[in-house]
Amino acid sequence: MPVDLRSDTVTTPTDAMRRAMADAEVGDDVYGEDPTVNALQEAFAARVGKEAALFVPSGTMGNQLALRLLAPPATAVIAGRRQHVVIYENGAGGRNAGVQFQTVDDDDGVLDPDDVAWLVEAGDNHWVRPGLVCVENTHMPANGSAWSLEALDAVKRAAGELPVHMDGARLFHAEVATGVPAADYARRATTVMCCLSKGLCAPVGSMLAGPADVMAAARDERQRLGGGMRQAGVIAAAGLVALQQMVERLADDHARAARLAEAVADRWPDAIDIEQVTTNMVIFEHANAPKLLSHLRAEGVLAGTIAPGVVRLVTHHDVDDDGVELACKAVASAP
Ligand SMILES: Cc1ncc(COP(=O)(O)O)c(C=O)c1O
């Protein structure tokens, strides 16, 4: 088996998850009668300090629900230019929510509050009116960097009355890397989305959490998008195990990513600032990414690109120390 560093979405469910799935009590969740889904929603809402939460099939759907609920059609969604909701959702924001993105630089993984304030004010100067601010935590393309509460507070102040949605696909990576509880991050956003199916290893599913009235509306919107799932307790059971057992171990992924980042810096000293690798993403530019990827593949290591010439290595539960050492050797001999 190759060492698969393409994404943390390739993780497979643990034995404990498979057992929980087999034993899950289920009901029809569209009737609100699946006890395992209800337990997961309650557990997640409590974990992030929100009134309510909704289990959704994917992180993309969680983000899309937030857009549809918080940003009126024909308003601007202010977001970083490399955020998932902007560039990796197949144009869904325009199609599903009828919104227009107004993007700002997010090179360091955060939004500059002055940029946000400027776009908010531009709404009073004939620009498209803003409806929502979106942040991504951790910010995947910025080496998976986690937000500080100070940076988040500054953006929230700049957003003024506007709601804030946090794409926290890897919110618990941020919690583990910074020691900031997920609830402290979530308190600074109206809604927060988090994926169970990435580093936390559940096979399917993400959570959206927020105020009770927004989550009740999210349930209706999920149905409209065809995301009502019936005996979803079978997959929610794995989600509960993800929340209970898989968060603390993310520190191992972060340590392994740091090791990989060192190998990349040894091979190409200008390619990466190892200080910036604090979670599970190692991202760097390479003059010939296809050649690098095929070299790594020949050495038994799978990697991917997230933009032209931008290579990504992602650590996760299914890659151990031996796998990382193999990848480091493959990097050391790379073109
Ligand atoms: C930051 C971020 N947000 C959202 C998503 C979407 O999640 P999903 O693949 O479950 O739709 C991803 C997926 O990779 C992501 O990295």
- Render pLDDT for 104-156 as a digit per residue (tens, 0 to 9): 999 999 999 999 999 999 999 999 999 999 999 999 999 999 999 999 999 99
Assess whether the C-beta atom of 197 lies below 6 angstroms from ligand 1. Answer: yes
**In angstroms, what is the span from residue 126 Cα to ligand 1's centroid?**
33
Q: Is 62 in the pocket of ligand 1 (CB under 6 A)?
A: no
Question: Which residues in the chain show pLDDT less than 50?
Answer: none
Query: Which pairs from 257-262 meet CB under 8 Å and 24+ separation?
Result: 257/144, 257/281, 257/282, 257/313, 257/314, 257/315, 259/324, 259/328, 260/5, 260/313, 260/315, 260/324, 260/327, 260/328, 260/331, 261/143, 262/328
Share of the chain above pLDDT 70, in %: 100
pLDDT of residue 22: 98
Q: How far is the CA of 59 from the centre of ligand 1 (A)?
A: 5
pTM of the model: 0.98
Nearest CA to ligand 1 atom 7: 59
- Provide φ and ψ at 209, rounded to 5°: -130, 155
Yes or no: domain 249-332 corresponds to CATH 3.90.1720.10: no
CATH number for the domain whose boundaries are 10-245: 3.40.640.10
> What pLDDT, on a 0 to 100 scale, did the predictor assign at position 215?
98
CA 183 – CA 194 distance, rounded (Å): 12
Ligand 1 center from residue 243 Cα (angstroms):
17
Closest ligand 1 atom, CA of 58? 10
| Confidence (pLDDT) at 51 | 98
* Ligand 1 proximity of 59 Cβ (cutoff 6 Å): yes
Q: Hey, do 10-245 and 249-332 end up sharing a CATH topology, with the first three levels equal?
A: no
Q: Is 86 in the pocket of ligand 1 (CB under 6 A)?
A: no
- Residue 103 Cβ < 6 Å to ligand 1: no
Q: What is the pLDDT of residue 81?
A: 98
**Structure tokens belonging to residue 30:** 């569209």
Q: Distance (Å, rounded) from C-alpha 34 to C-alpha 26?
A: 5
Centre of ligand 1 to C-alpha 89, Å, is 8
Q: Is 202 in the pocket of ligand 1 (CB under 6 A)?
A: no
Q: How far does residue 206's CA lie from ligand 1's centre (Å)? A: 9
What pLDDT is recorded for position 331? Answer: 98
Q: State the Cα–Cα distance between residues 6 and 17, nearest whole angstrom.
A: 23
167 lines ligand 1 (CB under 6 A): yes
Q: Where are the domains of the chain?
A: 10-245, 249-332
Q: State in Å: Cα 314 to ligand 1 middle.
A: 14
Residue 167, φ and ψ in degrees, nearest 5: -80, 95
| pLDDT score of 240 | 98
Q: Give me the pLDDT at residue 332, please.
A: 98
